[in-house]
Amino acid sequence: MDDRSRTETTRGGGPPATDETARFVETLQRFGHDMRAAVSDVVGGLRLVDLERLDPETRTQLERVAAAGDALASLVESALLIASGPAAEDRAANGVSLGSLLEHWRKRWTGHARENGVGFEMVVDADPGLSLLVLRMTVERIVSNLIANAFDHASGSDVRLSVRLDDDAALVFEVADGGPGFNPAAPPVVSPREGHGLGLKIAEELSEQLGATVRIGRGPPLGGAVVQLVLPPGLIVGDGPVRRQDDTWPDLSQVEILVAEDNLTNQAILRGMLEQLGARPVFTSNGAEALEALEQMRFDIALIDIEMPLLSGLEVMRAVRARADAAATMPLVALTAYVLRDNREAIYTAGADGIIGKPVSSTEEFGRTILRYAGRPAGLPEPEDVLAAGAGDPAFGVKMDEARLDELLAVAGEDGARELLDRLSDDLCALRDRLDAGIAARSVPIIREQTHILVAISGAVGADRLCRLSEVLNIAAKRRRIDDLAALHAPCRDDLDDLIALIAMRAATRG
């Protein structure tokens, strides 16, 4: 064992004095709005970068920066929630998609590894569609501290993150490196008294908050240190890699699916979700391969990543729509993390039938969305349901879940809440006018564009029934049910008017 043996003293001291804590919290609250705005500009600006035009190395490093920016945004948001008090902090607890965590770590640490001339490998032997009943930022902080620790002590070796379900159905995140390993005198478990470095101490303290365990060891697979985060079965929702969750889940066994996706981690995530739903998808790694597959096989639907080498997703869609055979009319759905308005317009102009945002967080909703775009029964409201029952069918959900709107306003803070309400009002009123114009002109592109935006906004603020009604209107436009569009628009318009009125009332009460 050499001087790089992995024993460190933890930094620290006790918590700050009460007066200092109060001043810090007050400062954090005072600057909260400006901090959110600045971080939002950083994250938003990075997402507008056209990665397709960059060389692979630059693209990898920008993906790393973007992933770190997302992590920074979450850390800032978590800090501001905590500063707002325990109630605000509790509201941030949600189910977390394993697949989205894996994609975040891939982007953040692959670039870090390349910068340091080593490798970062991910080995996933668990269903990426699993949902974790934890705070996302807590899991991100634990695993990121373990990975950062591994790189710090790897002595120029590779680092590997493995994810699997053990025999007790616990989810194990294992970080291994080929460095000198732990000091033989160190105990086989992490000890908050003796410590093994600040990163491990943070990981252990955070794992206790989750009811999870951090374990350390030595040896394989890379010959150095091995550290595990073990989440007990009670924090995990879902079954094994390919088993169906229950009989009510979407059945994709009869749907022929082409997936064009260049990233191997994303392929693994999507394959796990689709196989869990009974599908046997065909994967291609670039746009040229996707077009070649369409020449050789028949598909019911194609899921197309927008950013691919050789031919981008937009180029693939244009080529498919220009064909003279049956493939020209097949459903094309974009897979993309870029869902801003300019990106949506470019995607729909290229010929997409719809957009699925990445990372995909819900296997069940992913499957139902695929069925809906493929023209198959999806267990969701259909145009016939709205035409028969208007908005009165309970399947459309509650009209308004105001608690969800309250959560958004609480997270935004007092100044941010006023700005959010003003923007919502402006956006919804403009959307209403454009949608009215689209209905009057019987314009399928306008209706589809505006209802796609309305689905996102209404779902975010808790207008669940409006979200379903606007989705049905979008589907009817996609199916070119021109004569039914006005009748389907009527209940959607009523709920939109009521949402705009509610937003205006909330804005008025805040001055």
Vertex 135 angle, CA 267 and 459, to 5°:
70
Q: So what's the pLDDT on residue 92?
A: 38
Position 370 pLDDT exceeds 70: yes
Residue with tokens 């086989």: 188
Could you give the CA distance from residue 400 to residue 242 in angstroms, rounded to a whole number?
36
SS (H, E, C) 317-373: HHHHHCCCCHHHHCCEEEEECCCCHHHHHHHHHHCCCEEEECCCCCHHHHHHHHHHH
Q: So what's the pLDDT on residue 221?
A: 60
488-497 confidence digits (pLDDT tens): 999 999 999 9
Quote the tokens at residue 381. Answer: 């409201």
Closest CA to 454 of 489, 412, 403: 489
Q: At a CB cut-off of 8 Å and minimum separation 6, what does 23 contact?
A: none
Q: In the predicted model, what is the mean pLDDT of residues 199-226?
A: 78
Which residues lie across from 176 on neighbouring strands? 160, 226
Position 188 pLDDT exceeds 50: no
Its CATH architecture, for the domain 257-373, is 3-Layer(aba) Sandwich (3.40)
Contact 264, 157 (CB under 8 A): no
Position 128 pLDDT exceeds 90: no
Average pLDDT, the chain: 77
238-280 confidence digits (pLDDT tens): 643 333 444 567 889 899 999 999 887 778 778 878 888 889 8
Closest CA to 318 of 295, 342, 348, 339: 348
CATH hierarchy code of domain 18-237: 3.30.565.10
Least trusted range by pLDDT, from 127-131, 236-240, 411-415, 447-451? 236-240
Q: Best-predicted range by mean pLDDT among 55-69, 142-156, 384-398?
A: 142-156
Closest CA to 510 of 436, 415, 377: 415
CATH hierarchy code of domain 383-509: 1.20.120
Least trusted range by pLDDT, from 88-97, 142-151, 307-316, 337-346? 88-97
Q: Give me the DSSP letters along 456-475.
A: HHHHHHT-HHHHHHHHHHHH
Contact 28, 77 (CB under 8 A): no
Sequence spans of domains, the chain = 18-237, 257-373, 383-509
CB atoms within 10 A of CB 61: 16
Residue with tokens 């997936």: 259
Edge-to-edge order in the sheet of strand 171-177: 120-125, 159-165, 171-177, 225-231, 213-218
3-state secondary structure of 254: coil
Q: So what's the pLDDT on residue 443?
A: 92
Q: In the predicted model, what is the mean pLDDT of residues 121-133?
A: 84
Q: Best-predicted range by mean pLDDT among 29-33, 207-211, 472-476?
A: 472-476
- pLDDT band at residue 353 under the 50/70/90 scheme: confident
Distances in whole angstroms, Cα of residue 67 to Cα of each of 5, 35, 144, 279: 30, 18, 12, 30
11-25 confidence digits (pLDDT tens): 333 444 456 656 665
Residue with tokens 């909703």: 365
Least trusted range by pLDDT, from 52-61, 201-210, 257-266? 52-61
Q: In the predicted model, what is the mean pLDDT of residues 31-50?
A: 55
Could you give the CA distance from residue 164 to residue 240 in angstroms, rounded to a whole number?
10
Could you give the CA distance from residue 471 to residue 396 in angstroms, rounded to a whole number?
10
388-412 confidence digits (pLDDT tens): 877 777 767 788 888 878 877 876 7
Closest CA to 393 of 468, 305, 328: 468
Does the global pTM surpass 0.75? no
Q: How far apart are the first and last CA of the chain?
A: 66
Q: At a CB cut-off of 8 Å and minimum separation 6, what does 162 contact?
A: 122, 123, 124, 125, 172, 173, 174, 176, 221
Q: So what's the pLDDT on residue 151?
A: 85
3-state secondary structure of 128: coil
